[in-house]
A and B are shown apart, each in its own frame.
Chain A
Amino acid sequence: MLNEINISAAQFRKLVTLYSIGSTIIVVPAAITADAHQDAWIAALFGVALGIGLVLLFTSLGKMFPTLTLMEMNEKIFGKLFGKIVSAVFVLSNLFISSQVLYYVGNFLTTQILPYTPLTAIHIAFMGVVIVGVRLGIEVIARSAEILFPWFVGLFGLLILSMIPQIKIEHLQPVFEIHPKAFIRAVLTFLSISSLTYTILLMIFPSHTPDTKKATQSFYIGNVAGGLVMVTLILLGILVLGPYYSQITMFPSYELGRRIDVGNFLQGIEVVIAILWFITLFFKLCIYFYATLLGFANVFHIKDYKLFSFPVALIMITLSLIVYPSVSYQKDWDTKTWIPYSLLVGILYPLFLLIAGFIQNKKRRSSNG
C-alpha cells in the first residue's frame, strides 16, 4: 500500500452499488430484452444470483491478500517480470474500456439530449469532472458517493412510482417461453457488464478498505442492491413499453422517463431522471480511470498516480472517439468480443490468482515447518 487510504464499509457499499449499475443501465436493458424478450427480467434475476458467486471469488481473493492491490498481487503470484507484463496488459485494456465507458456517455447524450453538440465537447466536459474527482483521490470519490446516493435512490423511487399507473401486466405473458440457449446468452449479457467487471474493484477492495470483514459484507450487499435496481428497470421496461418496443429502442430506461405523466401535470422530466445515468456513469468512469492510473503507477513503482491524470485523460478522450466507430459496431463488439473478454478477466483470471495464491501459501507454510 502506497499511502493510507481509508474507505469505510458503508462508503464502499454505495460505491459498489453505483459501480455495478454504471454502464449496465445504458447498455443492458435493450440488449437483454433482444435476447430473452419478455423473460429478460428472469435472466437478469438469475444474473444477480450468479453475481453473488462471483463476489465470493473476489472477496476470497481479497481475504488472501488483505493489503495488496491487484497489481501487487500480480507481481507476487506471477513473479516480478511476468507479473509486470500481466499488469501492463491489464492497465492497457482498462484504458480502452474506460474510453468505451466515456463513449457511452457521449453516445447517450448526443442521441437523446444534445443532438447538435459534437461528441468531443461532451467527452472533454465529462472527463474534466472525472479528472477533478480522481485528482482529489478515491476517498473523496467514496464520500461523494455517500452524498449522491440518496439522490440516486430518490430519483429511482420517483421513476418507479410514476410508472406504476402505466404498467400492463399482459406484457409479461407468456412467462418462461424462452429457449435455454437464448436464456444463457441473456444471462451472460447481463453478467458481462455488471458483475464480471468487478476485477477492477480489486484495486480498491482489500487495500483501501481496512475493515475487510465489513467491506466483504458491503461487497455482497452492493452487488445485490445494484443488481436488483437493474432487474427492476428491465422489468419496468417490459411492463410499460412491452418487450418489442423495449428491444428496439436504444435506451429503454430513458424512454421510461419520457413516458412519465402523472395527472397530465408531472411530465417531461426525463432529463431529471437522466441524472441517474450521470451519477452512475460518473462513478463507473471514476473507478476505471482511478484503477488505470493507479495500475500504471504501480507497474512503474511511482508513488504519485495523480501525475499522469492529464496525459492519460488526453489519450482516453482521443480513444473514446475511435473505439466505437458506430453504434452497430458497438453492439456487435459488445456481444462478440466483450463477453469472452469479460469471462476471461472476470472469472478465469481471478480464479487463477486464487488457486496460485493458495498453492503458494501452502508451500510457504510447509517450508516454514
Chain B
Amino acid sequence: MLGVLGLLIVCTLVIWFEVPKLRHKKAKKELWLFYTVLAIGMVVSICKALGLNVPNPSDLSAAIFKPISIFLFHLLS
C-alpha cells in the first residue's frame, strides 16, 4: 500500500513538473502521448507494487527466439 501511495505522489509530481509547460505551448499531441505513457507506467508499477503478476517480456522474446536458438546451439554443441 505504501508503495502505491509513493507511486501516486511521484505521478502527481511528474504531472506538476511537465504538464504546465505543455499546456502553455498548447501541444495537444504531446500532452495525450505523455498521459498515455504515464498511465501505462502507473498501471504496470502499481500492479508490481501490489504484488500482482506482471507478464515478463523476456518470456515473450525467449519464446520468439526459441526455434533459432535451438538450431544454433544444436550446431554449436
Residues of A near any B CB (own CB < 8 A)? 93, 96, 100, 181-182, 184-185, 188, 300, 302, 304, 307-308, 310-312, 314-315, 317-319, 321-325, 329, 333, 335-337, 339-341
Contacts and interface: CB of A to CB of B under 8 A. Distances in A.
Interface of B: 10, 14, 17-18, 22, 29-30, 33-34, 37-38, 40-42, 44-45, 48, 54, 56-58, 61-62, 65-66, 68-69, 72-73, 75-77
A181 B29 contact: no
A337 B61 contact: yes
Contact of B62 (A304, A325, A337): A337
A27 B76 CA distance: 21
13 contacts: A93-B61, A96-B57, A100-B58, A302-B29, A302-B30, A310-B17, A311-B37, A314-B10, A315-B37, A321-B48, A336-B73, A337-B62, A340-B69
B69 A337 contact: yes
B40 A339 contact: no
B48 A337 contact: no
B34 A307 contact: yes
Contacts of B65: 336-337, 340-341
Contact of A333 (B29, B38, B62): B62
Contacts of B18: 307, 310
Given A185-B76, A302-B29, A315 B58 contact: no
A323 B38 contact: no
Given A181-B75, A318-B45, A321-B48, 17 more contacts: A181-B76, A302-B30, A308-B34, A311-B41, A314-B38, A315-B41, A315-B45, A318-B44, A319-B44, A322-B56, A324-B58, A333-B62, A336-B62, A336-B66, A336-B73, A337-B69, A340-B69
Contacts of B42: 314
B57 A323 contact: yes
Contact of B54 (A302, A304, A311, A322): A322
A355 B44 CA distance: 40
Contacts of B33: 300, 302, 308
A308 B37 contact: yes
A310 B69 CA distance: 35
Contact of A317 (B22, B45, B57): B45
A317 B7 CA distance: 12
Contacts of B14: 310-311, 314
A323 B56 contact: yes
A157 B68 CA distance: 41
A307 B22 contact: yes
